[in-house]
Amino acid sequence: MSGRYKTISLRIAQAIPVLFGVVVVSFILTRALPGDPAVYFAGASATEESIAQVREALGLDKSLPEQFVIYLGDLLRGDLGQSISTGQAVTDDLARRLPASLELTLMALFISCSIAVPLGVMAATKPGSLRDHICRVIVTAGVSLPTFFTGILLIYIFYYLLGIAPSPLGRLDFIYIEPDTVTGFYLIDAALIGDWETWFGALKQLILPATTLALFTMAPIARMTRAAMLSALSSDFVRTARAAGLSSSKILYGYALHNAMLPVITTLGMVFSFTLGANVLVEKVFAWPGIGSYAIEALVASDYAAVQGFVLAMAILFVLLNLTIDIAYSLIDPRIGFEER
C-alpha cells in the first residue's frame, strides 16, 4: 500500500509548482489590465502629484519583480489588497461571496450527475437503439445551449409566462430573513436552525440557476458514462461474470458500472472547469451574489485587486478540487501506485 501513499504525496507535490504558476499568471494578467488604478484612486480632481503619491502608496512605482515579491508576501498573509469599488479587503469580499457560488455549483453538479449517469448507463445498455440516439441528441442539445441564454429562457418561461418561479434576483427573496451564517450555504444554514420556510425560499431561488448550469454539464458526464459503460460491458471480465452465472444487476452495477466510474471521475475535473466558468455567466443572469458577478463588476471598474483575487481564488479552488478528485480516484482504483513498476 505504500505505493499508493507515494503516488498521493507525489500528486500533492505536483500541485505546488502549478499553484506557483497560477500565482504568476494571475499577477501578470492583472498588471496588464488597462486603466491606471492610481488615476482611478486619486479621484476626479487629482493632480499629477497626487496621482504619483497614490501610485507610490500602492507600490505601483516599483519594478515588476519587486511588485511580485511584495505581492507574494501579501498573499502569504492572506492579503489580496483592497477593492477599489467596494472599499473592502478583497479577501473578505471573496470569502463572503464564495459560499453563494459554491452552493450553486455543487447543486448544479448534483442535479447533473443524478441525471447524466443513469442516462449514460441507459444508452450504453442498448447501443444504437432509438433510446441511445435520443439520449445523444438531448445531451448534445444541452451542451450546445449557451448558459446565459438557457437562464434567460427559463426566466421567461417560469417567471414571466408561468409565474411559478420567484423573481430572478439573488439568493433569497426579500420577504425571508437570511439565516445566520454558519457554512454560508443557505440550504444548510436554514436547515440547521430548522427554518424550513426560508429553506424552501432559498431552494426556489436556487433551482433555476442550478438547472441552467446542470443542463450545460450533463453532456460530458453522460457521454463519458456511456463510452465507459460500453467498453466495460464488452470487456472480457464481464463475459467471465456472465459465464459464471452472476445476476444481471450484479454484472451491470457491481462489475461494469464500478469500473466505468473511474474514467467518469476523471472527467469530473473537466466538468468542474466548465461549471466554474459558466458560473460567472449564470450569476450575472440571475443576479446571484457570488464571486462571478463580483468579478464582472470589478472588470467594468478596472478594479485590479478584485479581479486578481477572483482569478486566483477560482484557480486555487479548481486546483484543490482536482487534487481531491485525483486522491479520491487513487483510493478507488487499486492499480494506482503500481502501474509504473
Partner 1 sequence: MSMAPTTKSDGFFAHIFYVLRGNPITALAFILLAFFIVCALFGPLIVPYDPLASNTSNALKPPSSDHWFGTDNLGRDVFSRVIVATRLDLLISVSAVALSFVIGSILGSIAGYWGGWLDAILNRLLDTIMAFPLFVLAMGIVAALGNTIENIVYATALINIPFYARLVRAEVNIRRDAGFALAAKLAGNSDLRVLAVHIFPNALPPMMVQISLNLGWAILNAAGLSFIGLGVRPPTPEWGIMVAEGANFVISGEWWLALFPGLWLMLAVFTFNLLGDGLRDIVDPRKRT
Partner 2 sequence: MLSIKDLAVDFQTRKGVVHAVRNVNLHVDKGETLGIVGESGSGKSVTSYALMRILDAGGTITAGDIVYSGIDLRHSSARDMRNIRGREISMIFQNPRAALNPIRKVGHQLEDVLKTHSQATRYDARAKAISMLEAVQIRNAEERYHAYPFELSGGMCQRIVIAIALACNPQLLIADEPTTGLDITTQKTVMDLIQSLSQERQMSSILITHDLGLAAQYCDRIVVMKDGELVETGKPKSLFNNAQHAYTRKLIAATPRKNASIRDLLPVEEQQPLPERSQSGETLLRVNNLVKTYAGKNGPVHAVKGISFDLKQGKSLALVGESGCGKSTTSSMITRLLDCSSGEIIFNGQDIGKIKLRDFAQHEMRKDIQMVFQDATDSLNPRHSAFQSILEPIKHLTDLRSAKRQDRVYELADLVGLPHSLLTRFPHQLSGGQKARVGIARAIAVNPQLLILDEPTAALDVSIQAIVLNLLADLRAKLGMTYLFVSHDLHVVRLLCDDVIVMKDGEIVEMGPVEEVMDQPKSEYTQSLLDAAPSLSKIVE
In single-letter form, the type of residue at position 66 comes to E
* Rounded Cα–Cα distance for residues 329 and 322 (Å): 10
Three-state DSSP class for residue 43: coil
Binding to partner 2 (CB under 8 A) within 258-317 occurs at: 258-259, 262
CB of 243: closest distance to partner 2 in angstroms? 4
Residues near partner 1 (CB under 8 A), total = 56
Q: Which is nearer to partner 1, 27 or 186 (CB)?
A: 27
Q: Which is nearer to partner 2, 86 or 235 (CB)?
A: 235
* Rounded Cα–Cα distance for residues 112 and 327 (Å): 22
User: Considering only residues 299, 301, 325, 327, which one is a binding residue for partner 1 as defined by CB under 8 A?
Assistant: 299
CB of 322: closest distance to partner 1 in angstroms? 8
Q: Which is nearer to partner 1, 97 or 186 (CB)?
A: 97
User: Considering only residues 42, 224, 285, 306, which one is a binding residue for partner 1 as defined by CB under 8 A?
Assistant: 285
User: Considering only residues 1, 13, 32, 44, which one is a binding residue for partner 1 as defined by CB under 8 A?
Assistant: 32
CB of 300: closest distance to partner 1 in angstroms? 6
* Cβ density class 56-94: b for 16+ within 10 Å, e for less: eebebeeeeeebbeebeeebeeeebbbbbbbeebbbebb
89 secondary structure, DSSP code: B
* Rounded Cα–Cα distance for residues 229 and 252 (Å): 9
Binding to partner 2 (CB under 8 A) within 319-338 occurs at: 332-335, 338
Site string for partner 2, 234-253 (x = CB under 8 A): xxxx-xxxxxxxxxx-x---
Quick check: 80 and 74 in contact, CB under 8 A?
yes
Tell me which residue of 226, 302, 301 sits closest to 264, measured CA to CA.
226
Q: Which is nearer to partner 2, 118 or 334 (CB)?
A: 334
Quick check: 210 and 111 in contact, CB under 8 A?
yes
Site string for partner 1, 322-341 (x = CB under 8 A): x-------------------
Tell me which residue of 121, 323, 114 sits closest to 227, measured CA to CA.
121
CB of 256: closest distance to partner 2 in angstroms? 9
Q: C-alpha cell of 277?
A: 466558468
User: Considering only residues 214, 257, 278, 305, which one is a binding residue for partner 1 as defined by CB under 8 A?
Assistant: 278
CA angle 284, 209, 117 (to 5 degrees): 135
Binding to partner 1 (CB under 8 A) within 43-72 occurs at: none
Positions that interact with partner 2 (CB under 8 A): 127, 234-237, 239-248, 250, 254-255, 258-259, 262, 332-335, 338-341
